[in-house]
Amino acid sequence: MRPLLRNYEELRPLNKKDAAKLHPSAAVALGMAAIAFQIFLPRIAPAAGLLDLPLLAVIYLAVSRRHVLFGMLAGMLIGLAQDGLTHGPFGLFGIDKTIIGYSAAALSQYIEVDFPGARSVLCAFFFLVHQALFWALAGGLLGRPIVADPVRALMLGAVHAGLALMLFGAFDKLKRKA
């Protein structure tokens, strides 16, 4: 079994090899599907509105490529698209997901993200980071009346971790064999 934590220098060649597995079109389709489902699912299941599927897509794309610029770009595009579908200003989710994409990709270079448990924990962690950034930007920077509920955020983080466990396994089927 491979160790969970790796040396940054040792991981670099491995990252390039893994990055070739996910086709760019599949990455684009995944991002768009996440946005589309985020809009569509609450129509048939209102509770799905509590989920942040674009965030899961950003994290998955970032840790799959293990490339910080790709993660950052994916996060920015998906975040801005999410902003475009809300009534808020552009950049609110864009900044959040840009930072998340970058961070997830950077962290994936030190953590063995093929391990399902690690990806789940990573998702829960980044969901909390995302919430904190959102509260900071929306409440602190834009002065919006945001009610920060850490308990609810923790519960939703656990939910996203469980969801990531299932979805990331399905997303892995999109990867090409090296």
Partner 1 sequence: MESWARYRNIATLVVVVVAQLILLGYQVRRDDDMSLLRAWVVGAVTPVNRVMHGGYSMVASGWTHYFWLIGARSENETLKRDLDRIRLENAELRRDVQRYQRQQRLVSVQNSIASQTLIADVIGGGASSTSKEILVNKGRSDGVLPGMAALTADGIVGRVQASYPNAALVMLIHDVDSGVGVLLGGSRVRGVLKGRGAAECLLDYVDHEVDVEVGEAVYTSGDDRIYPKGLRVGEVTRVETGPDFLEISVRPYAALDRLDEILIVVTGVHEELPPPRPQLSQSLLPLPGSDPGLGAEFVGPPTQEQAHVLRSPGMTTEADRLVEHYRSVADSLGVRVGENERYTRAPDFNQGVVPQPPQIVEAPLIPDEEPESAPEEGQEVQP
Residues at the interface with partner 1 (CB under 8 A): 32-33, 35-37, 39-40, 44, 68-69, 72, 76, 80-81, 83-85, 89-92, 94-95, 98-99, 102, 106, 137, 141-142
Tell me the closest approach of the beta carbon of residue 76 to partner 1, in angstroms. 6
CA separation, residue 83 to residues 18, 130, 132 (Å)? 31, 14, 17
User: Is residue 128 packed enough to be buried (19+ CB in 10 Å), middle (13-18) or exposed (0-12)?
Assistant: middle
Cα–Cα distance measured from residue 175 to residue 168, given in angstroms and rounded to the nearest whole number: 11
Tell me the closest approach of the beta carbon of residue 134 to partner 1, in angstroms. 13
100 or 113: whose CB is closer to partner 1? Answer: 100
Give the closest residue to 174 by CA, choosing from 6, 34, 8, 39. Answer: 34
67 or 160: whose CB is closer to partner 1? Answer: 67
101 or 157: whose CB is closer to partner 1? Answer: 101
Tell me the closest approach of the beta carbon of residue 95 to partner 1, in angstroms. 5
90 or 115: whose CB is closer to partner 1? Answer: 90
Angle at Cα 19 formed by Cα 172 and Cα 128, nearest 5°? 65
Tell me the closest approach of the beta carbon of residue 99 to partner 1, in angstroms. 7
Residue type at position 56: L
